[in-house]
Amino acid sequence: MRRFAADRAKKLVLSFQRSLYSQPPFSSCAAAAMSSNPLPVTVDTINAEVLKCEYAVRGEIVTHAQRLQQELQAKPGSHPFDEILYCNFGNPQSLGQQPITFFREVLALCDHPSLLDRDETHALFSSDSIERAWQILDQIPDRATGAYSHCQGVKGLRDSIAAGIAARDGFHANADDLFLTDGASPAVHMMMQLLLRSEKDGILCPIPQYPLYSASITLHGGTLVPYYLNEATGWGLEISEVKKQLEAAQSKGIAVWALVVINPGNPTGQVLTEDNQREIVDFCKKEGLVLLADEVYQENVYVDNKKFNSFKKISRSMGYGEEDIALVSFQSISKGYHGECGKRGGCMEVCGFSADVREQIYKIATVNACSNISGQILAGLVMNPPKAGDESFESYSAERDGILSSLARRAKTLEDTFKSLEGVSCNKAEGAMYLFPRIDLPQKAIEAAAAVKTAPDAFYALRLLDATGIVVVPGSGFGQVPGTWHIRCTILPPEDKIPAIVTRLTAFHESFMAEFRE
């Protein structure tokens, strides 16, 4: 804590120095060149929305953790722990999760097609990966994986993703409705860019929410209209609450264009029931809201009594077609059992927009040229993995099931641990990759946090980090009911590290409570 206070002090000095050196806004670079400051851009001249936007998942606590890691490397034994355990970021392969062999085989062959002509390749690669690589290369003009593709993504890959979506949902999917993107994040930005004109335009977002949404809405100059998930009912999404917040925003003159639903939820881990999804679809239809369905965790469901259903499937099964409801589904290769975050692949399915609006979405995609081809190939593969009878099917299934069942065990152990702590209640991770326990912090801890001008949950997270090396994100980074405090902890650390996390977390919490108990 002392170290952190010192860092804050250093930052204050830096920003004071910055303010000493910063110049009034320049009218031109030439003016800058003539002034004593050779750098024309200052924080006072850049886009104010950039300054306003926040992304806690990689915020101040993570920077502090990185500093501790460097200190540990430079001077082993300098902290009461020997490694930093990153439970802040949904980045599975950074924590040792292995990629799915079949996917990487196909990718390697596509990236270096001359391997396909060599005899040794048949000894090193599965026959279905070789066959799949040929199929994919045949879909790419000139087999040029280093060339720009169609701005929505390679048509053949979109055809196969559309077939995968149709098989998942039991309803037709159209390759022309698909936009392949560098992960789901750019797709979310694209929609915000399309929908938001000024702060008078609003988007309904769950609270707590994944801060991509708040950040993107801020960057695009719109207004986030919050609706609170009900923690008491396992982070239930209640239409009465959404309606209340919609009406409150409208009464302030805000035109609300869309409702964001994250299912399975981040950071809240709940999986929506089919009935609830139907209510949401009806609500959007009735209120004329675009349903922005974040479905990146569709493969991450850990409980037998819940199942992922896409909003597209729900709306089509209710008899609603293109003309009834505007619906955008975001998918990603970063999540699921594959966790290919660094390959940056995603897919946005866009339904229910008029032809002229579609043209504008297309135009935004053209400005972005195209998403990277490896990400596109992986997006095609995750929607069409090996099937029974394929050579890789058994090893693929074993890898997939091994990862998912391990995630389920890790989620349960961490959930039980949080629940066993004094003053802590914890949601069930029905899906996604996070626990979001609520911590009833003692008044003395809240006061101690205020004394160092830190939010109480950030204070707890920093103390946890300094004592144990465990990195979590304070709930304030996701939004929470005022006066409640949470932390978000991923379920991703390797299974053999979970017992150490449990022991360290429990010991820390006990001593924290003992220190601040009234």
Which parts of this chain interact with ligand DCS (CB under 6 A)? 57, 89-91, 183-185, 210, 212, 262, 266, 294, 296, 332, 334, 341, 346
User: In terms of CB distance, is 173 or 188 closer to ligand DCS?
Assistant: 188
Q: In angstroms, give the least distance from the CB of 66 to ligand DCS.
A: 16
Q: From its phi and psi, is residue 125 left (phi > 0), alpha (psi between -120 and 50) or beta?
A: beta
Least distance from C-beta 479 to ligand DCS, angstroms?
Answer: 13
**Residue closer to ligand DCS (CB basis): 59 or 113:** 59
Q: How far is the CB of 198 from ligand DCS (least distance, A)?
A: 25
**Nearest approach, Cβ of 434 to ligand DCS (angstroms)?**
7
Q: How far apart are CA 299 and CA 472, in angstroms?
A: 23
Our CB check for ligand DCS shows the closer of 4 and 213 to be: 213
Helix (H) or strand (E) holding 293: strand 290-294
**Parallel/antiparallel/unpaired status of strands 223-228 and 201-207:** parallel
Helices (H), 42-181: 48-52, 60-74, 101-111, 120-124, 127-139, 155-169
Euclidean distance between CA atoms 436 and 231, whole angstroms: 10
How far is it between the farthest Cα atoms of the chain? 73
* Residue whose CB is nearest to ligand DCS in the complex, by number: 183
Minimum Å gap between C-beta 294 and ligand DCS is 5
Closest to ligand DCS by CB, 223 vs 266, is 266
* 254 versus 261: smaller Cβ distance to ligand DCS: 261
In the complex, least distance from residue 263 CB atom to ligand DCS, rounded to whole angstroms: 9
DSSP string, 41-72: --TTTS-HHHHH---GGGSHHHHHHHHHHHHH
Q: Rank residues 26 and 297 by Cβ distance to ligand DCS and give the closer one.
A: 297
Q: Report CA-CA distances (Å) from 511 to 86, 134, 423, 456.
A: 22, 59, 13, 16
Task: Tell me the C-alpha to C-alpha distance, in Å, between residue 167 and each of 44, 128, 139, 301, 384.
Answer: 52, 20, 21, 18, 10
Instruction: Give whichever of 332 and 376 is closer to ligand DCS, judged by the CB atom.
Output: 332
Those residues with Cβ within 8 angstroms of residue 237's Cβ, 6 or more apart along the chain or in another chain: 206, 227, 229, 230, 261, 272, 276, 280
**Residue 471: CB minimum distance to ligand DCS, A:** 12
Select from 171, 173, 174 the least CA-distant residue to 319: 171
By CB atoms closer than 10 A (0-12, 13-18, 19+), residue 188 is buried
Nearer to ligand DCS, 296 or 458 (CB): 296
C-beta closer to ligand DCS: residue 449 or 491: 491
Shortest reach from residue 381's CB to ligand DCS, in Å:
15
d(CA 345, CA 383): 12
Least distance to ligand DCS, CB of residue 90, Å? 3
Cα 40 to Cα 25: distance, rounded to the nearest angstrom? 8
